[in-house]
Amino acid sequence: MAEHLLVVEDDATLRELLSASLRLAGFEVRAVSAGAEAMAAVRQERPDLIVLDVMLPDFDGFEVVRRLRGEGPPAAAGPPPVLFLTARDAAEDRIGGLTAGGDDYVTKPFNLEELILRIRAILRRTGGRQPDGRLVVGDLALDPEGRHVTRGGRTVPLSPTEFDLLRVLMEHAGRVLSKEQLLELVWRYDFGGDDSIVASYVSYLRRKVDAGEPKLIHTVRGTGYVLRRPPR
């Protein structure tokens, strides 16, 4: 499932250019033009990242993030990561953006390819990890410290190896991992070319995590396995 981006930009031409370019790069995009619209979109859809213009017609992007951080549920887990986008390039503006809670700061005019690379870098850093350290994909949540997993609020009992396999799949949600990569990341052991243990443990994990719908763990034939976010 493609990552969902919210683009907040009051310039209609730039908003359309950004939206089209990000869709071509493989993202799902919603675009709005003002701070109040941005806050409503975050509450409704919970995007994976916000590309947020600082200068907006109602209140600025810094204030959007401050308000999102100050809200109770459903934003209690913290707002999505934010990449500020602005024509203001003074050092105090950059500092203000990062202090407000931004994850990166890009000035206009910008290179689209660089912007996309920065977005991907933020998504890799943040993934589905919540401020309390939990990994969350859809209704599946994993607590690495307490080694506790729930699906739809129900506890999912896992063996240590099943837990480690699920953690790796969730940390790389949306990315296909080969059996060789999983052997290295989970077992950290050379089985002499025999990777059948991976298929066995993926099967065990599916019985416990994917007993209901929607299915999260998918086989990519001839390549490996991927844990995908459910359709919105």
pLDDT in tens, 10-35: 999 999 999 999 999 888 899 999 99
**Does residue 117 register a pLDDT over 90?**
no
Phi, psi of 150 (to 5 degrees): -130, 150
Is 97 within a domain?
yes
Residues 9 and 57 reside in one and the same domain = yes
Residues 44 and 111 reside in one and the same domain = yes
**Does residue 41 register a pLDDT over 70?**
yes
Which of 47-51, 88-92, 123-127 comes out lowest in average pLDDT?
A: 88-92
* Cβ atoms within 10 Å of 87's Cβ, excluding its own: 12
Which pLDDT value is given to residue 96?
59
Beta-carbon contacts of 47 under 8 Å, excluding residues fewer than 6 positions away, are 4, 5, 6, 30, 41, 80
Whole-angstrom Cα Rg for the chain: 20
Which pLDDT value is given to residue 78?
54
Tokens of 225: 């396995």
Q: Are 38 and 32 in contact (CB under 8 A)?
A: yes
Which of 52-56, 78-82, 117-121 comes out lowest in average pLDDT?
A: 78-82
Instruction: Kindly report the pTM of this predicted structure.
Output: 0.55
Residues 180 and 203 reside in one and the same domain = yes
Which pLDDT value is given to residue 77?
45
Which of 60-69, 125-134, 141-150 comes out lowest in average pLDDT?
A: 125-134
Residues 8 and 123 reside in one and the same domain = yes
Question: Quick one: average pLDDT of 207-226?
Answer: 91
**Does residue 217 register a pLDDT over 80?**
yes
Residue where one domain finishes, among candidates 104, 130, 156: 130
Is 187 within a domain?
yes
Question: Quick one: average pLDDT of 132-148?
Answer: 84
- Side-chain-side CA neighbours of 187 within 13 Å: the count stands at 15
Is 98 within a domain?
yes
Residues 34 and 72 reside in one and the same domain = yes
Range of the domain at 76: 4-130
Sign of CA dihedral 174, 178, 184, 187: positive
CATH number for the domain harbouring residue 186: 1.10.10.10
The number of folded domains in the chain is 2
Which pLDDT value is given to residue 16?
95
* Cβ atoms within 10 Å of 9's Cβ, excluding its own: 25
Any bridge partners for residue 141, and if so which? 136, 150
Residues 147 and 108 reside in one and the same domain = no
Is 209 within a domain?
yes
